[in-house]
């Protein structure tokens, strides 16, 4: 399974970015995909998660109402729409994927097996 993030960049506070995670390889067993972020000196934190079969989504309280996660099956992407960005949203954003082999909280990074390299979001 390969995950490649894109869409990061630098924006002013109040702006928006659409992050995309393109997945490839043997992905038929993947049941959950998530977005996490990590700022310098801080632990990796959950942003949102999406169950591929049921389309059930989870969003962290810190971004609820501003960020939305969705899947585009035609493009093999899981997207994170980020709106009303704040300076505290500045971080490296990572896409992750997992299968039912690992159970647990979809907003817990330990649930995930596969990770992308990340895309930087900077809000000033």
The model's pLDDT over 38-70, given as tens digits with 9 standing for 90+, comes to 999 999 999 999 998 888 999 999 999 999 999
Mean pLDDT for 87-116 is 93
The candidate with the shortest Cα–Cα distance to 98, out of 80, 116, 76, is 116
Mean pLDDT for 20-45 is 94
Separation of alpha carbons 67 and 61, rounded Å:
10
Strands (E), 12-105: 17-24, 32-38, 45-51, 57-59, 67-72, 77-82, 91-98
Question: What tokens were used for 66?
Answer: 């501003």
Separation of alpha carbons 44 and 30, rounded Å:
21
Please give the pLDDT value at position 68.
97
């Amino acid at each position: 399974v390969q995950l490649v993030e894109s869409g990061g960049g630098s924006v002013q506070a109040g702006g928006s970015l659409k992050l995309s995670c393109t997945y490839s390889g043997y992905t038929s067993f993947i049941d959950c995909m998530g977005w996490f972020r990590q700022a310098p000196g801080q632990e990796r934190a959950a942003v949102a998660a999406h169950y591929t079969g049921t389309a059930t989504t989870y969003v962290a309280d810190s971004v609820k109402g501003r960020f939305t996660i969705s899947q585009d099956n035609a493009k093999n992407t899981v997207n994170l729409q980020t709106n009303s960005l704040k300076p505290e949203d500045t971080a490296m954003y990572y896409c992750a994927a997992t299968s039912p082999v690992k159970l647990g909280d979809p907003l817990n990074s330990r649930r995930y097996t596969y990770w992308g390299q990340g895309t930087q979001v900077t809000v000033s």
